[in-house]
Amino acid sequence: MSAIIAILFLILIVLNIVLLLLYISARRTPYYVVYDEETKNALKSRVLNLKEDLEAELEEFDVAEWEKSLEESIEEEIREL
């Protein structure tokens, strides 16, 4: 019985050491990435282009047509059952 407790205690010590090493490693690595101005500007323009594309798609999106196709696919699934 005492051997089992000793093994469990040893496992807990090893786990604590591993967690401590992971914690120290995480504290030493930065959580952010520094971009140069050219890359930052390219990313900003890409995000703005994606935003404009998404807004254009949302304006073209027809809810009634989407609902109709959804109902048709549900009916088809029910027929297959």
In the chain, where the domains are located:
1-32, 34-81
Q: How confident is the model at residue 61 (pLDDT cuts 50, 70, 90)?
A: confident
C-alpha distances in angstroms, 81 versus 51, 65, 74, 77, 78?
41, 25, 11, 7, 5
Would you put residue 34 in left (φ > 0), alpha (ψ -120 to 50) or beta?
beta
Supply 73's token pair: 């696919």
Q: What is the mean pLDDT of the chain?
A: 88
Of the chain, the percentage scoring pLDDT greater than 90 comes to 46
pTM: 0.40
Largest alpha-carbon pair distance within the chain? 72
Q: Is the pLDDT of residue 56 over 90?
A: no
